[in-house]
Amino acid sequence: MFESGWDAGLDDAQLSAVVHGDGPLVILAGAGTGKTRTLTARVASLLDRGVPAERVLLLTFTRRAADEMVSRAARLCTQPDAGQRLAGGTFHAVAHAVISRHTEALGLPPAVSVLDRADATDVMDLLRHDHGLDGTDRRFPRAATLVDIYSRAVNTGVPARALIKTDFGWVQPHVDAVMELFRAYVARKRDRGLLDFDDLLLAWRSLLADPVIGPQIAGRWDHVLVDEYQDVNATQVDIVHALRPGGHGLTVVGDDAQAIYGFRGSDHAHLRGLVQELPEVTVVRLERNFRSHQRLLDLANVVRPGAEGEHRITLHSDRQEGRPARLVRCHDAPAEARIIVDSVLEAHQKGRRLREQAVLMRAAAHSDLLEVELTARGVPFVKYGGLKFLEAAHVKDFVAAVRLLDNPRDEVAWYRLLRLHDGIGPARARSLLGSLADPELSADLDRHAEAVAAAPAMSRVALAASLSALADARSRDRIGERARGCLELLRPLLTARYRDWSARLGDLERLVGAADQSPDLAAFVAELTLDPPASTSDLAGPPSQDDDYLVLSTVHSAKGLEWPVVHVLHLVDGSFPSDMALGTPEGVEEEARLFYVALTRAADELNLYAPLRMPHHRHARDDRHSMAPLSRFLDDAALDRVEVVDLTPPRPGADPAGAAARGARVALPDLADLWA
């Protein structure tokens, strides 16, 4: 037993990794095997062996993970003030700190500005304008798409022309203009002393490659520890190799089965490549799972993708008792939402808190119907992996417009709608409420000429168009058509207000589809209105004021987290795996890894849901649908390890008693006269 106690509770495999010497070390850590604890204990052990805290660098992919490991290691070790002297952070944060010391060598001004994704998109948008490429061709890629292509090329090392040819075929007719824009983008940033996230890594790598500066930077640390190494891209691999040439003092932790960020340029092959490149490397496998019981791990082991042979991870648990995973077949997506809420509430009645349960989805949009169902039944929830659908500003805008259809005197709704127009601020909006909310004018929205005349000149045309669109929506009969009229009202306002207007309009399309299924539009809106619109802002507020709420999350956002009870929805081909990934074997493989991550979030109960039919088009206003094949990841071997529950309704006209058992009652004609 070591005096500081950092070895307390470690099993043999974890301890062997923690006390390893200075040679290169690769820790293959399966899901739930305590890799964070192991990495933290290794840092503490290095410090207790006499390595100065400032000579240790911990690289992670989230600041939260870095801060947690640094603080825990400081508490476990005996070095004073270790927490203040340990170097830890994300690749980008550490890169920025290094670059700030070497701006002159890079030809940059002393104070550089770092561009986030939105800033980079703005720069690209300015360049599109400068080059006369905005508005001349509607198919010319948007600024956000251009930034995506640029970033992927940088992170993968694949030339942009080749990347466009393989992954962005529709951009091919514009490839020469796109290359010109990228060259201008690089020049503009350098001219203005600007660095985007990709530039931070490139600049750090360039500094490390310099024969004079590189050894100075790398010489600052004796030990470099990298978390989630399966998620590194080619540039980050180069940085790690330059920091610890030959691998001396290098520790990496990873699991190739949890590599789910290929869209960002990461490649799980880097983890295996490291083992092959460092002949003196020590490989430690962590396979004892501290999270789940064995019956859930049996399923996870069957579906687990990744390395075979000596690097294969097979999870096992000391917990042998527990219910196997349950696969629920249901009729369609609305039925799936109802069944999930039923299951959540049933578990809650048995003593399982809502916060002990999570619903996971492949994409944020997959929970649309579930969110509506939860809201209608009064179940509080918080959503990770995107803004909570019903609290987003543009959704609140839509709700305000719909409320005005039935109650034109709703001052709060008018106030929100008015402020969407350029030139109308809070004060002017308040001054316009008198005529707009007048009960004498509420029956004829076209008569609001007084309000239009009182509006600023720059907003009069847009306001008049909004009032006309509202009157048109009010005149429509069908619920879905009235809701669609409100969307049409908002379309030009959102297009002008938000850079991501296309995605926001997509959200509203889904909401229109949900409204079309409701028998009463006013009741539908009342269910959606969690808080008065006047108390909301363009940013989402706290997820819930309740002390207990259900967690909704994309699988990407759930990585590294766990819950006693996990529900995974839309397990059909086209949703999970995503239809966008089915074009290449690499895409399907990454979807399989994502599926594995989803399954391994559950500690006690795992519920899987698969509708038999899905809407033919997500935003369709009719009953067109497609039969949904079960996810290819639930093959025969996986189904042998799950409990299948069939909640699909019987086919129309079916006789559950079994008419066949009674024999035929109607004789078929033999048509003998026709053959005489």
Distance, in Å, from the CA atom of 28 to the CA atom of 600, rounded to the nearest integer, reads 16
Query: pLDDT (tens digit, 9 = 90+) per residue, 312-366?
Result: 889 999 999 999 999 999 998 889 999 999 999 999 999 999 999 999 999 888 8
Instruction: Residue 317: name the closest of 548, 616, 30, 42 by CA.
Output: 30
Please check the confidence at residue 532 and state whether its pLDDT lies above 60: no
Q: Please list, in sequence order, all residues whose beta carbon lies within 8 angstroms of the beta carbon of residue 12, skipping any fewer than 6 positions away.
A: none
Q: Please list, in sequence order, all residues whose beta carbon lies within 8 angstroms of the beta carbon of residue 136, skipping any fewer than 6 positions away.
A: none
| Torsion angles phi and psi, residue 116, rounded to 5 | -85, -175
Mean pLDDT, the chain, rounded, equals: 81
pLDDT of residue 531: 33
Instruction: Residue 244: name the closest of 227, 228, 259, 224 by CA.
Output: 224
Asked whether 293 and 320 are in contact (CB, 8 A), the reply is: yes
Asked whether 82 and 47 are in contact (CB, 8 A), the reply is: yes
Percent of the chain, pLDDT > 70? 82
pLDDT of residue 513: 78
Query: pLDDT (tens digit, 9 = 90+) per residue, 105-121?
Result: 998 777 666 766 766 78
Please check the confidence at residue 78 and state whether its pLDDT lies above 60: yes
Over residues 214-236, mean pLDDT: 92
| 3-class SS string, 19-76 | CCCCCCEEEEECCCCCHHHHHHHHHHHHHHCCCCHHHEEEEECCHHHHHHHHHHHHHH
Token duo for residue 432: 């316009």
Asked whether 256 and 29 are in contact (CB, 8 A), the reply is: no
Please check the confidence at residue 560 and state whether its pLDDT lies above 60: yes
Distance, in Å, from the CA atom of 467 to the CA atom of 189, rounded to the nearest integer, reads 44
pLDDT band at 625 (very low <50, low <70, confident <90, very high): low
Query: pLDDT (tens digit, 9 = 90+) per residue, 450-493?
Result: 778 778 888 888 888 888 888 888 888 888 888 899 999 999 99
Residue 179: how many CB atoms within 10 A of its CB?
14
Instruction: Residue 106: name the closest of 217, 204, 198, 185 by CA.
Output: 204
Token duo for residue 137: 């061709």
Strand pairing partners for 225? 58, 251
Q: Please list, in sequence order, all residues whose beta carbon lies within 8 angstroms of the beta carbon of residue 181, skipping any fewer than 6 positions away.
A: 124, 127, 128, 131, 133, 146
Over residues 519-527, mean pLDDT: 59
Helices (H), 175-212: 175-192, 197-209
Asked whether 595 and 631 are in contact (CB, 8 A), the reply is: yes
pTM of the model: 0.69
SS3 274: helix
pLDDT of residue 533: 26
Helices (H) and strands (E) in the chain, counts: 27, 16
Instruction: Residue 365: name the closest of 158, 79, 578 by CA.
Output: 578
Token duo for residue 601: 């979030």
Q: CB-based burial of residue 663 (10 Å sphere; 0-12 exposed, 13-18 middle, 19+ buried)? A: exposed
Q: Which is more confident, 523 or 16?
A: 16
pLDDT band at 541 (very low <50, low <70, confident <90, very high): very low
Please check the confidence at residue 208 and state whether its pLDDT lies above 90: yes
